[in-house]
Amino acid sequence: MKIAIPLTGGKLSAHFGHCEAFAILNADPTSGSILSKEEVVPPPHEPGRYPAWLAERGATHIISGGMGPQAQNLFTRNGIEVVLGAPSDDPEKVAELYLHGKLEPGENACDH
């Protein structure tokens, strides 16, 4: 499992399209552990680019604060499960909460 988390200031970004980087965490869903973490700077934002770019990097999940419906559909089409409404926190903490079934998503922070 590879979990992508958009980052702003080192924390989960409220809107993935405005992030500075992505944390890509390799995780073992069976043990609920994070095996490795890589931070990558995305290409310039343009509609539809991030889902394909993250799919090329092997992402299977994206956890974000918010995302519009078109982006959600593009991630799904690229085989990436979307989790929205996550809190702004350290990417490892967010991923661990998700892996242990304790991530309580809130409102989608995006309104477009």
Complete domains list, the chain, with CATH: 1-6+47-112 (3.30.420.130)
Is the per-residue pLDDT at 80 higher than 90? yes
Pairing of strands 61-63, 81-83: parallel
Per the CB < 8 A criterion, the answer to whether 65 and 86 are in contact is yes
Residue 88: CB atoms within 10 Å: 14
The overall average pLDDT reported for the chain is 91
What number is the average pLDDT over the span 71-84? 95
pLDDT score for 105: 74
Q: What is the pLDDT of residues 39-68, one digit of tens each?
A: 999 998 888 899 999 999 999 999 999 888
Spacing of C-alpha 74 from chain mean position: 14
Confidence of residue 82 (pLDDT cuts 50, 70, 90): very high
Q: pTM for this structure?
A: 0.92
